[in-house]
Amino acid sequence: MSSDNRGLARVEVRLKWDPSPWDQPPHHLDIIAATYSAEAPYGRPVYVVHFDSRSPDGTINMSRHSQTGQGLGYVEVMSLELDRLASSFTRVVVGVAIHQNSGPKTFGDMSNAGVLVVAGYEELLKDDFAAVAGSTATTVAEFARGPSAAWEFHAMGRGFDSEPTVFTAEMGSTP
């Protein structure tokens, strides 16, 4: 957080996982962000950002995407410019989902999977999905406007048993 009480300005969510064995279908994970308005902070998202989309105003987008996990380090990156997000938004929930195209897969089936949330050089969250090993999707972070309208970070590890499309509708709901 900055010292001038504006809260978080820009954050990155980074995702990594090892590719599947050569004789298996590829593992495909995705970072997903959902925005929520002040009128319905736990209702339906105003819009959802994932691998083939970006926010209408360009404040949330994917700068790197992988469908296989191949590459060094974090192979998928989503950038969130919270300081540019319209004042009508009060929450942004970020999660990770596993595509189920080639049969059921959970985080426990992934090798070397992990997520990292950073603000500049500050590490806000680093997780290996061990707590949600039996899940096919999970929320990882919530960014919410605090009482002073500054953006705050909250770790949000909550597992789901749903495919990416269903997950986008339920990821910001009240637990």
Which pLDDT score is estimated for 69?
64
- Which pLDDT belongs to residue 84? 95
> For position 118, what pLDDT does the model report?
97
Q: What's residue 1's pLDDT?
A: 36
Give the model's pLDDT for residue 23: 86
- The neighbouring-strand residues paired with 34 are 48, 93
Give the residue ranges of the chain where pLDDT is below 50.
Answer: 1-4
Predicted confidence at residue 6, as pLDDT, reads 63
